[in-house]
Structure 1
Amino acid sequence: MNVIQQYLDKSRAILATVEQQQANIQTAARWFADTIRAGRMVHLFGSGHSRIMVEEMWPRYGSFPGFNPIVELSLTFHNLVVGANGQRQAMFLENVPGLADRILRNFDLSEQDTALIISSSGCNVVPIEMAELFQQKKIKVVALVTQAHLDQSTSKRADGKKLSDFADLILDTGAPVGDAMVQVPGLDTPVAPGSTLGGTLLINCLKAETARLLTEAGCPPKVLSAGVVVGTQRATELFEAAYDEHAHRLARLYAQVGVPSYVSEK
């Protein structure tokens, strides 16, 4: 079979898998909309290439404030591949126990918050601990995983628990075990992963449904929009307003964090 057609056919299967999860997408979006309406934030986290899904949610065209993208460069900076800041270090660090706690120490979390944790395998330590810590604070956790891969993989955590063990709701990218989807004649390893495709489909379904719920509740989101669609002046106004709203929401995550000081009492 034509390898291009292989990938396209596998992609259609992923689309079908996402389509079958509409009820779970609607539930997650309702949680997210409730958080945003309360003036709080949906915390987004993904290590490795799962960072792609974090940036797909916010900030980019067609997205809106209410999401806190937690991206650690030490876990996600792949461009150099080897040497200083290389891939070996990133893959090591995403399995260091305790790092998730250090990351979340920076934020004043609330039970009104929600979290979306992305990890295709669901088996690396830092995303698992992130979900565990959120749940300990009674924050609802949505896990975005590749279910088939997670089921056949071994957790890097000492107790064997996976991301799915600390999720209130699970969304499945629909990608296969190992992620790569295309078999090339004469090549003994498959190529062309599918989890990013499934992940971005899920992210944008969540985004659209959350926007619908916010709008119907009388809180239409400030969507980053192109000037060719809404006009240059309106686009500029939306960008400025959206970024300012993000700053105001983020300020609430820092205002009372950690050890009180005379500043926090002002």
Structure 2
Amino acid sequence: MSTSYLRYLHTAQDVLKQIEATQTEAIARVSEMCAETIGADGLVYLFGSGHSRMAVEEMFPRYGSFPGFFPIVELAVTYHNQVVGCNGQRQALFLENISGYAEVILRNFTFGPHDCMIVFSNSGTNILPIEMAMGFKAQGLPVIAVGSIAHSRSSTSKHPSGKRLFEIADLTIDNCNPPGDAVVEIPNLAYPVGPTSSIGTLTIVNAIKCQVAELLTARAKPPVVLTGAHFLGPEESAKQIERAYDDYKARVHGS
């Protein structure tokens, strides 16, 4: 019997090893930027279209996360339940490459002087995430990108400027994903299967989250962590969740 599952597991582990070997300095720098933003009562805006919405929601809100991060998730380009028909993938793929869409999204927010943004895009070539980064930078605020440098370098930008996301961002964390994303070739199957971009990107997200929590706590500004009943029991957990939601509401007031 073939062991394609083992090949996938080994490749996924290799991606994580590459991140540890090459990206720890970038992760530390981004964590410091986020801690400075949150510590100054600013917001770390998060954006991702397509499957990159997973990275946004992995950062906040979920157990083990905390306020200070502001997820921007547009259902028109992230709603994957309907593959065809209303809210289908054809429409989402189309909208990801419409120039001007990002400007419309960004007009909904009032950004502060301490804010920063993380844009997630594995390819870094679609117009929407590129223009989200451009629009945020145009306000004099820093932008961080998380994606595959190898994939981006081997691809052509769809933006009229010809620039890819990593060429716009102030700082980029490489998820160390190989070009094409899918990593396992099956005999007699025309195309590879098994993407690894989510594994690398979500690992980076949680590494940042943990480091930011450490930095804030060391600065006497411990975050209000969304914590489940396993640690606190159901009653106290419910209170802690409400505290986290209230803290989030206070932080985003006026945004």
TM-score band, normalised by shorter chain: over 0.9
2 CA distance for matches of 1:51 and 1:77? 9
Question: How is 1:177-196 mapped onto 2 (pairs within 5 angstroms)?
Answer: 177-196=179-198
SS in 1 for 2:151: helix
Aligned length: 253
2 CA distance for matches of 1:235 and 1:39? 25
Question: How is 1:1-266 mapped onto 2 (pairs within 5 angstroms)?
Answer: 2-20=3-21, 21-253=23-255
Q: CA deviation at 1:231?
A: 2.3
Q: CA deviation at 1:111?
A: 2.6
More moved, 64-73 vs 241-250 = 241-250
2 CA distance for matches of 1:100 and 1:65? 24
2 CA distance for matches of 1:111 and 1:178? 37
CA deviations on 1:134-159 (whole Å, 9 max, x unpaired) are 11112111100111111111111112
2 CA distance for matches of 1:179 and 1:97? 25
2 CA distance for matches of 1:25 and 1:31? 10
2 CA distance for matches of 1:221 and 1:232? 20
Q: CA deviation at 1:183?
A: 0.8
CA deviations on 1:16-62 (whole Å, 9 max, x unpaired) are 12212111111101110111111111000000000010000000010
CA deviations on 1:171-211 (whole Å, 9 max, x unpaired) are 11111111001111111200010000001100000000000
| Contact 2:57–2:71 (Cα < 8 Å) also in 1 | yes
Q: CA deviation at 1:229?
A: 1.3
| Contact 1:110–1:137 (Cα < 8 Å) also in 2 | no
| Contact 1:123–1:163 (Cα < 8 Å) also in 2 | yes
| Contact 2:149–2:166 (Cα < 8 Å) also in 1 | no
Q: CA deviation at 1:130?
A: 0.6
Q: CA deviation at 1:132?
A: 0.8
State the 4+ residue runs in structure 1 displaced beyond 6 angstroms.
Answer: none
Counterpart of 2:236, as a letter, is R
TM-score computed with the length of structure 1 as normaliser: 0.93
Return 5+ residue gaps in structure 2 as ranges.
none
SS in 2 for 1:252: coil
2 CA distance for matches of 1:99 and 1:66? 25
SS in 1 for 2:12: helix
Q: CA deviation at 1:252?
A: 2.9
1 CA distance for matches of 2:160 and 2:112? 29
Return 5+ residue gaps in structure 1 as ranges.
254-266
| Contact 1:18–1:201 (Cα < 8 Å) also in 2 | no
TM-score computed with the length of structure 2 as normaliser: 0.97
1 CA distance for matches of 2:140 and 2:240? 33
Q: CA deviation at 1:249?
A: 1.3
